[in-house]
Amino acid sequence: MNNDKYSTFFKAMMTGLFVGIIDTLICLAYNIGYRDATGYIPSAIINVSSLIFAVCLLLTIVGIVYYFFLRFIRNGNVVYSIVILALTAWLTLRSFQVVRFSDARLDGGFHGLLGGIVLILGLSSASVPLLYHSKKFQDAVI
């Protein structure tokens, strides 16, 4: 299929959405595995429904942000990747400083769960340019 007919915006947004769908599955698997391994129980913030909704929406927005980097910034791919990786590092550090519970054990469990999800989302957000420029991905998915 010839993908030249699709706009840059459409391809960037759909790439973000595809990464979001894959990340949703990865985050759900991480959530289940982490809770089984550590025995962490509370699920008021990070639960199945919030992961399904938030991850897909967030990565679709990431695809739109990537479009703006491509459109309005010279060397947008490189700048985007640097900004996303720096933001991921900062948010990961901040996620370990959040105080959610007064109990240190519950708070530590929340840090591990949130930190892992932030890393998954950040690293996959940084991969959006790789997929966007992949001819095989464009032909097979978009």
Domain locations along the chain: 7-140
d(CA 77, CA 66): 8
| Residue whose token pair is 């105080």 | 99
Q: Is 6 helix (H, G, I), strand (E, B) or coil?
A: coil
The per-residue pLDDT for 46 is: 92
- 134 Cα distance to chain centroid: 19
Give the mean model confidence (pLDDT) for residues 19-40: 96
| Tens digits of residue pLDDT in 82-119 | 999 999 999 999 999 999 888 889 999 999 999 999 99
**Pair of tokens at residue 62:** 């990431």
Average pLDDT, the chain: 93
The per-residue pLDDT for 43 is: 87
Q: Is the pTM of this model over 0.85?
A: yes
